[in-house]
Amino acid sequence: MYQIQRLQMRSGTRLVCRGFVSGWVLIILLAIGTVAQQPANAQPEPQKEMPSDVAGAQTPEQAATKASEGTHKADKSDDASKDNPGKGVITTLGPGDLIEVSVYNVPELNSKVRISNSGDVYLPLIDYVHVEGLTQEEAQALIEKRLTDGGFVRNPHVTIFIDEFTSQGVTILGEVGRPGIYPDIGDHKLYEVVSQAGGFNQNASRKITILRRNEPDPIHVTLPRNLGDDQSGNVEIFPGDTITVPRAPIIYVVGDVGRPSGILADNGTMTVLQALALAGGTNKTAKLGDARILRKGPNGDVTETKVGIKKMLEAKAPDVPLQADDILFVPISGGKVLAARTFDATMSVATAMALYTVRP
């Protein structure tokens, strides 16, 4: 009996030991599995960003960034307005403009009037209204106020339509087909305005002057001979601009040349050799060393300047520039004329003798 109890105690002890070992093994396995499920370089989960449209969700850094972006955009817009000063020009009413004033639901007060030289228009019931310097919206508001203050119309609605924008037109003067004032209430360029005015005349210069309203210094534009070759001179034209197309300077070439004539210098500059080339060159009897430039001074005095055409042709002297209304005179050489006549006479005699010789 004692042996049986002893065997039972031993078996119980073994069971307890086995259970204890199994428990520790299970704990170790669970710990290893938990560690294996986590990544080796685990990073903390990033915080979720708040929506941008939620009030107060911006961080101070985001607010500062947006503020700097807004300032940068404003600076860009300011720079753009500086680069294009004419784009900021607001068109206003002025003397000579023809406008139509209509009052909604009151056709008796509708009128078509032209703004006087004093900047006033006469309208029914409210007499004279000064509209010079006002925009369409400002003029409409002023007429509505006058109608309301006088008790003529309750809650009036006034509309102004501009038939002729004479005061905001572009004036083109000088050597064009039809000089005058051309309405300019849209975006136009120089070539379009010149085309509306009939194009350049034969005597037109290619150096154009543009006088812009409220700008003291004129704008000088040099155009190419063929406008299609270069578009850099096709500048923007704004309301109130005055375009002047002057006459091209004329240089006169006279004397012993192929075609004595007046030559247009449409680009404003010309030299002695260029003028001679356009005049057909010099004749064989020309005295190249005694050519002169006759130039009229501001007081009406005429000065003579001797030029050596022969040295210019031999590249031994610089080509002399000419000015507007200069006269290039190339004299005839008496010795060359005598030599030419002697040569012609000798040749005619020799020809006659030869003809006489071969005659049977």
Write out the two tokens for 278.
């356009």
Over range 122-147, report the average pLDDT. Answer: 93
pLDDT of residue 119: 92
In this structure, is the dihedral angle defined by the CA atoms of residues 57, 59, 60 and 65, taken in order, positive or negative?
negative
pLDDT of residue 20: 54
- Of residues 288 and 229, more confidence is placed in 288
The answer to whether 253 and 260 have CB atoms below 8 angstroms apart is yes
pTM for the model stands at: 0.53
Q: Give the Cα separation of 91 and 131 in Å (integer).
A: 13
Q: In a 10 Å sphere around its CB, with 0-12 CB exposed, 13-18 middle and 19+ buried, how is residue 116 labelled?
A: middle
Q: What is the pLDDT of residues 193-207, one digit of tens each?
A: 998 899 998 888 888
Eight-class DSSP state of 289: G
Q: Which of 313-328 are b and which e, b meaning 16 or more Cβ less than 10 Å from the residue's Cβ? A: eeeeeeebebeeebbb
Over range 92-113, report the average pLDDT. Answer: 91
Q: Taking 80 as the threshold, does the pLDDT of residue 72 lie above it?
A: no
Q: In a 10 Å sphere around its CB, with 0-12 CB exposed, 13-18 middle and 19+ buried, how is residue 101 labelled?
A: buried
Residues 6+ apart with CB under 8 A from 157: 103, 104, 105, 144
Residues 6+ apart with CB under 8 A from 96: 114, 115, 117, 164, 166, 167
In this structure, is the dihedral angle defined by the CA atoms of residues 270, 274, 276 and 277, taken in order, positive or negative?
negative
In this structure, is the dihedral angle defined by the CA atoms of residues 311, 317, 321 and 325, taken in order, positive or negative?
negative
Over range 166-173, report the average pLDDT. Answer: 83
pLDDT of residue 5: 47
Q: What is the pLDDT of residues 27-69, one digit of tens each?
A: 665 655 554 445 444 444 444 444 444 334 444 444 444 444 4
The answer to whether 113 and 126 have CB atoms below 8 angstroms apart is no
Q: Taking 80 as the threshold, does the pLDDT of residue 245 lie above it?
A: yes
Mean pLDDT over each residue of the chain, to the nearest integer? 75
Write out the two tokens for 134.
């006002």
Q: Give the Cα separation of 244 and 220 in Å (integer).
A: 10
The length of the chain, given as a count of residues:
360
pLDDT of residue 90: 62
